[in-house]
Chains A and B, each alone.
Chain A
């Protein structure tokens, strides 16, 4: 089978450079990144600003509740009028709380972008915060937390973060019971005060991709957000993980579950812009990054112990350190066997290291997967925004594959040995039967 002649007729096989095509400018109070692509009729966007919540003081649920009220009415339009603008044109607009950031995202037919940007700006800048809507939003927030309590995966992941981080760290995920208590103590005045102090154009960045004209989008965004100013809140979050907790196991019994979700992990003491990050990223990819990785090969394919297993670097940004997480789901009767098999693969990998062949594979896999991952307007917008949030040059969107291809086996294995520590793995199990709690 040959691929070269086929490829030559369709493409040279490499993605066209993105950075030169991205219009990077100031539009109103923020940064606008706009990219025109061949898609018809639609645009997608991703945006964010830094809110700097005081996480140790319980600002996490407060920030989420504040965000959930943004589409419940503004000083100019009630909740149904806002929704009608979007629903009449089939546009979507989402606002969410993401640690230090408030994120916005959405998509619309290109012709509808001006009216949707107007709604977005109005929601962010002039929410009504009415008592009745506040009560409903709080009740819905409690219901969402309760629904999360039924999910073994969410519970296990959350429990692992509490072993690795203190409440002031953005990766710390509070126990649902505590979140419900915190939500119930929040008053509408707290929401108003939080919005006043933490919402503003602080590092406000918007990435827009699709069937667009750069200048027209810049004009729309500048008009919609004109006069929005930065807030004065400053960062208070922890940047490092906990060092005061010995490796151990958290067990969350959940009656009636047929399956146990297991998370293993420990903190990683580097940030995203550290020189070792690319090598560690590739090292993890070889261990548990995809279906062809070692964990999947052994624990699923050879031993048949799980439907899904994988590992990843989580919550590592240029503002704080993150962690390494291995996830596996196991049946009750193969729980310990599955955990043992997983840790055995990890130990062997750290001791022996990756092979030249594995690294060569990933040097094709990761750049190829990267190209595939940029095939939609939504994924392009997200990549552009994430790159900007990291403080990287836009060129990095084009040079990332080369960075991966330049890695040596020595660099990858040195990073694996330096940062992956099987003896330091914490464990979190959710879904075990109550009677087996003492495992």
Chain B
């Protein structure tokens, strides 16, 4: 068997442009002193590949009314090119990166936008060059905005084809009335149709700065060389001359259950029960992760045994959305044929009530912890998986959530699980959604 990874000593051989900040787990954190760019390095043995990722600390939570979908649209436009990397010269970003075999894409979510490349290590400088170039050099051409608008409307239509996707959108919209988690990341249709190139430029100039970004590099690389490359490429940018705007809206306390119903052609109904949950960095969120496992992960889980095994649902899931601001804990069930929504909702509510009243067993706690511990090991299988997990921790506001997660889980007790069930799973802070299929 492989030897355990040794503790990482404080690195000494680092370029002058950087300040070493700290190490947590196997991850080293540096700061590019001139512009505030944060850099996280996780060297790994293994295949000669690496993942480069830039996470911008801007997501759909930063959008204002009338400009919903701007973060996502900007993400698309970031692939349309810069002066140096452009389709007209045969050097489009996709073509240039895919030419060397890179797996390349980006994603937008509530709290962040990330751009990533997984590629043979020898081409890592190319990825860093492109990311640094488009950090401040995106063209955002009005013609590209127009063609991309149609693409995004098509993407939105694809989502709308899925009744369950609509159900999630509507539940979040009902659960949040003031906080921007209210609107879907892809944006409202009318906003997508009307947003302008100037609007996107303003958004880009507000948020796309080195001091509002984190560069993560995971895989097989040389520390000194990769840091030097980051300094050379990203060091040309100055920090933003303005304060990066922060979201200040708090969601008002919810004082009564909200209910939504989505009707769309389809075959099987679904129930989505959601409860207001704490921010990702709150220790209660760890207990809710454990609770999600106990409730609905695997055949030993409460809801599998109560619902799926008894023929009430064909599938049931528990999801603790760990976000920067208070979010939702959700239980979702696909109805089995000829089972009604009331029955499934009552069964889920009853199982939740049992946990509120009687708590969970040590055996359940042990099983949930074991599952999560194995999951953490699985999530270290290859640079891309590591980057994806790290990305969500960065977005939540503390990248060390990734490295400290195992220790945080070890602190969760059965009493904690019962307490968070009592604290957060209340009717008055819940939003219940039904997907009701209609026949064509």
Given A39-B46, A292-B99, A372-B102, is A90 in contact with B381 using a C-beta cutoff of 8 Å?
no
Q: Which of B326-347 contact A (CB under 8 A)?
A: 334, 336-337
B101 touches A366 (CB 8 A): yes
Task: Tell whether A301 pairs with B147 under 8 Å between CB atoms, given A11-B122, A375-B49.
Answer: yes
A94 interface residue per 8 A CB criterion: no
Contacts of A290 on B, CB cut-off 8 Å? 94, 98
B258 within 8 A of partner (CB): no
Q: Is the CB of A11 within 8 A of B372?
A: no
When distances are taken between beta carbons in the complex, the residues of chain A under 8 Å from B25 are: none
Of the candidate stretches A191-199, A302-310, A391-399, the one touching chain B is A302-310
How many residue-residue contacts, CB under 8 A, span A and B? 255
Contact with B along A370-411 (1 / 0, CB 8 A): 111111111100000000000000000000000000000000
Cβ of B300 to closest chain A Cβ, rounded Å: 5
Instruction: Flag if B161 contacts A90 (CB, 8 Å).
Output: no
A142 within 8 A of B: yes
A42 to B1, CA, bound (A): 10
Of the residues B94, B151, B156, B264, contact of A256 by C-beta under 8 Å? B264
Known pairs A136-B311, A301-B87; A79 contacts B377 (CB<8 A)? no
Does any Cβ of A come within 8 Å of B314's Cβ? yes
Q: How distant is the Cα of A291 from the Cα of B308 in the complex, in angstroms?
A: 40
A254 touches B1 (CB 8 A): no
A122 vs chain B, min Cβ distance (A): 15
Q: How many residues of B contact A (CB 8 A)?
A: 91
- Of chain A, the residue at the smallest CB distance from B363 is A88
Chain B residue nearest in CB terms to A361: B99
Q: List residues 200-214 of chain A with CB under 8 A from any CB of chain B.
A: 210-213
Please name all residues of chain B whose beta carbon is closer than 8 Å to the beta carbon of A139 when the two chains form the complex. Answer: 311, 314, 336-337
Is there a chain A Cβ closer than 8 Å to B134's Cβ? Answer: no
Asked if A367 and B101 make an inter-chain contact with CB atoms under 8 angstroms apart, the answer reads yes
Q: How far is the CA of A41 from the CA of B121 in the complex (A)?
A: 24
**Inter-chain contact A110/B1, CB cutoff 8 Å:** yes
| Complex alpha-carbon distance, A210 and B1, angstroms | 9
Q: Would you call A255 an interface residue if the criterion is a C-beta within 8 Å of the partner chain's C-beta atoms?
A: yes
Q: Known A6-B229, A331-B154; judge A89-B95 contact (CB<8 A).
A: no
Of listed A139, A213, A256, residue having the most chain B CB within 10 A:
A256
In Å, the complex CA distance between A139 and B154 comes to 34
Please determine whether B2 and A1 come into contact, CB atoms closer than 8 angstroms: no
The answer to whether residues A147 and B334 also contact, given A14-B48, A375-B118 and a CB cut-off of 8 A, is yes
Residue of B at shortest CB range from A332? Answer: B157
Given A6-B124, A211-B1, A258-B160, check contact A140 B336 (CB 8 Å).
Answer: yes
Tell me which residues across on chain A come within 8 A of B264, comparing CB atoms: 256
Q: B381–A143 contact, CB under 8 A?
A: no
Q: Does A372 lie within 8 Å of B377, measured CB to CB?
A: no
In the assembly, what is the distance between CA of A88 and CA of B264, in Å? Answer: 40
Chain B residues in 8 Å Cβ range of A152:
161
Q: Is B267's CB under 8 angstroms from A146's CB?
A: yes
**Is the CB–CB distance between A107 and B154 below 8 Å?**
no
Q: How far is the CA of A307 from the CA of B186 in the complex (A)?
A: 13
Contacts of B299 in A (CB 8 A): 71, 79-80, 83, 87
Known: A139-B311, A259-B158. A365 touches B124 (CB 8 A): no
State which residues 393-440 of B face A: CB under 8 Å.
Answer: 438, 440
**Residues on the B chain within 8 Å of A109, using CB:** 374, 377
In the bound complex, what is the Cα–Cα distance between A264 and B112 (angstroms)?
A: 37
List residues 15-46 of chain B with CB under 8 A from any CB of chain A: 44-46
Q: Does A436 reach chain B (CB closer than 8 Å)?
A: no
Residue ID in chain B nearest A18 by CB atoms = B47
Please determine whether B2 and A39 come into contact, CB atoms closer than 8 angstroms.
Answer: yes
Is A269 in the interface zone, CB < 8 Å from B? no
Given A11-B220, A302-B147, are A431 and B337 neighbors across the interface (CB < 8 Å)?
no
A274-299 to B contact mask, C-beta < 8 Å, 1/0: 00000000000000001110000100
Docked-complex contact B161 and A307, CB < 8 angstroms: no
Chain A residues within 8 Å of B, Cβ to Cβ: 1-7, 9-16, 37-42, 44, 71, 79-80, 83-84, 86-91, 107-110, 136, 139-140, 142-144, 146-147, 149-152, 210-213, 253-259, 290-292, 297, 300-307, 329-331, 334, 357, 361, 364-379, 431, 434
A to B CB contacts below 8 Å, 24 in the list: A1-B126, A7-B123, A10-B124, A38-B45, A88-B370, A90-B370, A90-B372, A110-B1, A139-B336, A140-B314, A147-B268, A254-B265, A257-B161, A291-B98, A292-B95, A297-B87, A303-B147, A306-B154, A307-B155, A329-B154, A330-B154, A334-B150, A372-B120, A375-B47
Give chain B's interface residues, CB within 8 Å of chain A.
1-2, 4-5, 44-49, 87, 90, 92, 94-95, 98-104, 118-126, 129, 146-158, 160-163, 219-222, 225-226, 229, 264-268, 297-300, 305, 308-309, 311, 314, 334, 336-337, 366-367, 370-375, 377-378, 380-385, 438, 440
Given contacts A107-B381, A304-B147, A375-B49, 5 further A-B contacts (CB under 8 A): A44-B381, A90-B375, A255-B440, A292-B99, A307-B152
Among all A-B residue pairs, the 4 with the closest Cβ atoms = A368-B101, A90-B374, A7-B122, A304-B147
